[in-house]
Amino acid sequence: MKNLFSLEGKTALVTGAAYGIGFAIAEALAEAGAKIAFNCRGEGHLNSALAEYEKRGITAKGYICDVTDEGAVAEMVADIEKTLGAVDILVNNAGIIKRIPMHEMQVSEFREVVDIDLVAPYIVSKAVLPSMMERRHGKIINICSMMSELGRETVSAYASAKGGLKMLTRNIASEYGKYNIQCNGIGPGYIATPQTAPLREPQPDGSRHPFDAFIISKTPAERWGTPDDLKGPAVFLASEASDFVNGHILYVDGGILAYIGRQP
Ligand code: NAP
Ligand code: GCO
């Protein structure tokens, strides 16, 4: 059973893995035996991430690459293939959110979120697919969201992008399954990372942020998730253990999507 989850000899690219969910997923894939490549946009984050990986005994190869830049992505993938080997596992994790009421949002802001959260996973997937097709195997994991299924105030661009990412996941699964390429999604619930920090900040009087209390009341597990909660699901979807799982969105949300919420 252990070998079923082994990633020995595999090369994994995790986008946006300088910190947060991406970092935890990259760490998990490394612990399962994979060679790790990751990217982010800034030298500061790159260097601190490399130090963090090294502290954990992980030799990760880091790139400064904006996932919306097709040329930069092609160069990064080519360099990974030269130095670590062809990409066997792609985790499209890089993503942003802008919490703005839709009627107040600028079109440019909406477009930026969709570019990073939806167009970029297409760009990076397109960059690794030819080699996966040639070698007749590959794993693509898209980091979706509960907002792939639900909406809420102020996240119209993000929900639109993550809803689209769910369908991109299903379409890649449909189009490339015949090459023994599996494309699945992970839909994290509310996870404590820098991206959600504004939703958890204590109030000036020291009380819980209202959104924090709201999420606790909507989560059967009665807690926020941590990036480590995503490690097992990521290794499962990256390994042979999921070779007949394709087009699936695995929600890792503590049960939020199954629950109407605690009665007041
Ligand atoms: P985060 O803490 O904000 O980290 C996002 C990562 O993406 C950072 O490493 C960032 O690095 C990178 N990034 C952003 N834009 C990029 C770009 N254009 N090119 C390259 N790298 C880029 O976010 P997180 O909470 O870990 O979330 C990671 C993923 O999970 C996102 O797709 C998010 O939508 C999704 N998600 C998060 C939650 C949650 O509750 N936290 C729940 C569901 C889904 P730089 O800024 O240094 O470039
Ligand atoms: C928000 C949060 C969510 C989480 C996540 C939930 O503002 O509602 O940021 O979008 O990040 O996507 O799955």
Consecutive 10-residue averages of pLDDT for the chain (264 residues): 90 98 98 98 97 97 98 98 98 98 98 98 98 98 98 98 99 98 99 95 91 95 97 98 98 97 90
Domains and CATH numbers, the chain: 3-191+224-258 (3.40.50.720)
- The pLDDT value recorded for residue 208 is 87
Q: Which ligand is nearest to the CA of 21?
A: 1
Query: What residue owns the CA closest to ligand 1's atom 29?
Result: 93
Q: Closest ligand 1 atom, CA of 17?
A: 9
The three-state secondary structure class of 264 is coil
Instruction: Say yes or no: CB of residue 113 within 6 Å of ligand 2.
Output: no
The conformation of residue 253, written as its DSSP 8-state character, comes to S
Instruction: Say yes or no: CB of residue 19 within 6 Å of ligand 1.
Output: yes
What is the spatial distance between Cα 141 and Cα 125, in angstroms, rounded to a whole number? 10
Q: Closest ligand 2 atom, CA of 154?
A: 7
Centre of ligand 1 to C-alpha 69, Å, is: 16
Alpha carbon 103 to its chain centroid, in Å, reads 28
Enzyme catalytic residues: 158
Centre of ligand 1 to C-alpha 117, Å, is: 9
Handedness of CA 49, 54, 57, 62 (dihedral sign): positive
Q: Which ligand is nearest to the CA of 147?
A: 2
Q: Closest ligand 2 atom, CA of 97?
A: 9
What is the spatial distance between Cα 235 and Cα 62, in angstroms, rounded to a whole number? 20
Instruction: Say yes or no: CB of residue 66 within 6 Å of ligand 1.
Output: yes
Six-digit token pair at 57?
Answer: 């005994």
Edge to edge, the sheet with strand 249-252 lists 60-64, 35-40, 11-15, 89-92, 138-143, 181-188, 249-252
Centre of ligand 1 to C-alpha 10, Å, is: 24
The conformation of residue 251, written as its DSSP 8-state character, comes to E
Torsion of CA 132, 34, 224, 49, to 10 degrees: -110
- The pLDDT value recorded for residue 264 is 84
The three-state secondary structure class of 158 is helix
Question: DSSP assignment of 5-52, as one string?
Answer: G--TT-EEEEET-SSHHHHHHHHHHHHTT-EEEEEES-HHHHHHHHHH
Centre of ligand 2 to C-alpha 210, Å, is: 15
The conformation of residue 221, written as its DSSP 8-state character, comes to T
Q: What is the pTM (predicted TM-score) of this model?
A: 0.98
Instruction: Say yes or no: CB of residue 80 within 6 Å of ligand 2.
Output: no
- The pLDDT value recorded for residue 1 is 66
What is the spatial distance between Cα 69 and Cα 173, in angstroms, rounded to a whole number? 24
What is the spatial distance between Cα 70 and Cα 127, in angstroms, rounded to a whole number? 8
Query: What residue owns the CA closest to ligand 1's atom 42?
Result: 188
Q: Which ligand is nearest to the CA of 63?
A: 1
Please work out, in degrees rounded to the nearest 5, the angle formed at the alpha carbon of residue 139 by the alpha carbons of 195 and 235.
60
Q: Closest ligand 2 atom, CA of 188?
A: 13
- Output the furthest CA–CA distance in the chain (Å, rounded): 59
Instruction: Say yes or no: CB of residue 191 within 6 Å of ligand 2.
Output: no
Hey, which bits of the chain come out as E strands? 11-15, 35-40, 60-64, 89-92, 138-143, 181-188, 249-252
Six-digit token pair at 71?
Answer: 């040329």
